[in-house]
């Protein structure tokens, strides 16, 4: 969504008497990424032990960061738990009518995460596969 769409949604959700201060505050903030700037940790994938996440994630952006790309590059601020692996970039579709290549900043990284655990483990609590973004990754 664009900033103008966010502004429109926010003004619809606030009572009329608060709408003007909210609009002013949102416009004053401009394009700053403010929603998650004070996070300690963000967990991607879930922690429901009875039904843990299994599947593929792609195109995940968090506060302007390409989290999956950072995980694939081995960024020290990204912690990976469980069976998580890089599957590859978005494949190009043969015979497509596209005349220009997708810029690298728009490419999507696929990360596949499964819940396969070794049967020889002695841990009592098994955690679901997750990717955690630690402090210092936001702007």
| pLDDT tens profile 87-133 | 765 444 444 444 344 444 444 555 555 443 333 434 445 555 556 66
Question: Are 14 and 55 contained in the same domain?
Answer: no
Q: Are residues 22 and 49 in the same domain?
A: no
Which range of residues forms the domain containing residue 28?
A: 1-32
Please, what's the largest Cα pairwise distance for the chain? Answer: 61
Its pTM stands at: 0.39
Q: Do 65 and 83 lie in a common domain?
A: yes
Which pLDDT score, from 0 to 100, does residue 13 have? Answer: 63
Task: List the structure tokens of 62.
Answer: 């968090």
Task: Identify whether residues 28 and 43 lie together within a single domain.
Answer: no
Check whether residue 55 and residue 106 sit in a common domain: yes
Q: Judge if 68 and 105 occupy the same domain.
A: yes
Coil/strand/helix, residue 86: strand
User: What average pLDDT is seen over the chain?
Assistant: 61
One domain for residues 1 and 56:
no
Do 15 and 50 fall into the same domain? Answer: no
Q: Are residues 20 and 74 in the same domain?
A: no
Task: Report which of residues 17 and 70 the model is more confident about.
Answer: 70
Q: Are residues 64 and 110 in the same domain?
A: yes
The whole-angstrom distance between residue 48's C-alpha and the CA centroid of its chain comes to 18
Residue 82's pLDDT is what?
74
Cα(57)–Cα(70) distance, rounded to whole angstroms? 13
Residue 47 sits in the same domain as residue 26:
no
Q: Check whether residue 108 and residue 65 sit in a common domain.
A: yes
Cα–Cα distance, 109 to 68 (Å, whole number): 6
Task: State the total domains in the chain.
Answer: 2
């Amino acid at each position: 969504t664009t900033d103008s769409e966010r502004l429109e949604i926010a003004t619809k959700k606030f009572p009329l008497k608060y709408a003007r201060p909210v609009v002013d505050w949102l416009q004053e903030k401009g394009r700053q990424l403010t929603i998650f700037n004070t996070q300690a940790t963000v967990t991607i994938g879930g922690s429901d032990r009875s039904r843990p996440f299994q599947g593929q994630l792609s195109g995940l952006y968090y506060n302007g960061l390409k989290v999956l790309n950072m995980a694939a590059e081995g960024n020290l601020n990204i912690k990976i738990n469980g069976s998580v692996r890089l599957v590859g970039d978005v494949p190009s579709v043969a015979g497509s009518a596209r005349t220009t290549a997708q810029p690298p900043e728009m490419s999507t990284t696929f990360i596949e995460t499964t819940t396969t655990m070794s049967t020889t483990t002695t841990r009592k609590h098994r955690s679901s596969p997750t990717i955690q973004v630690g402090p210092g990754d936001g702007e």
